[in-house]
Amino acid sequence: MKKIFLLIAVLFFTISAFSQTDTKNNFRIGGGSAFFGSGDVIGYTFYNSYNRVFLRNFSLENALNFSYGSRKQDKTY
């Protein structure tokens, strides 16, 4: 039963990944957490991008990303 449920879930997510609309202009914005270095510096990130589809297999995309991270220093006196 678990295998059948897993198979249906994988099939559903695969089909939804390929069901995109035919738009010429795409604009995306987003944000999230960011990890710098070996994971000891954490921060946040924001991004936006614009994608223009010219042909079926050719498109151009411009993107601007901003990330900020800081680490709290131990204050020893």
CA distances from 52 to 30, 55, 68 (A): 18, 9, 28
**Residue 41: what pLDDT?**
83
Apex CA 40: angle with CA 74 and CA 37, to 5°? 130
Is residue 67 situated within a structural domain? yes
Is 5 part of a structural domain of the chain? no
Answer whether residue 3 shows pLDDT above 70. yes
Distances (CA, A) of 33 to 19, 27, 41, 64: 28, 21, 11, 16
Q: Is 53 helix (H, G, I), strand (E, B) or coil?
A: strand
Q: Is residue 60 part of a domain?
A: yes
- The total domain count for the chain is 1
What pLDDT does 66 receive? Answer: 92
pLDDT at 18 > cutoff 60? no
Domain residues for 58? 23-72
49 assigned to some structural domain:
yes
Q: Is residue 12 part of a domain?
A: no
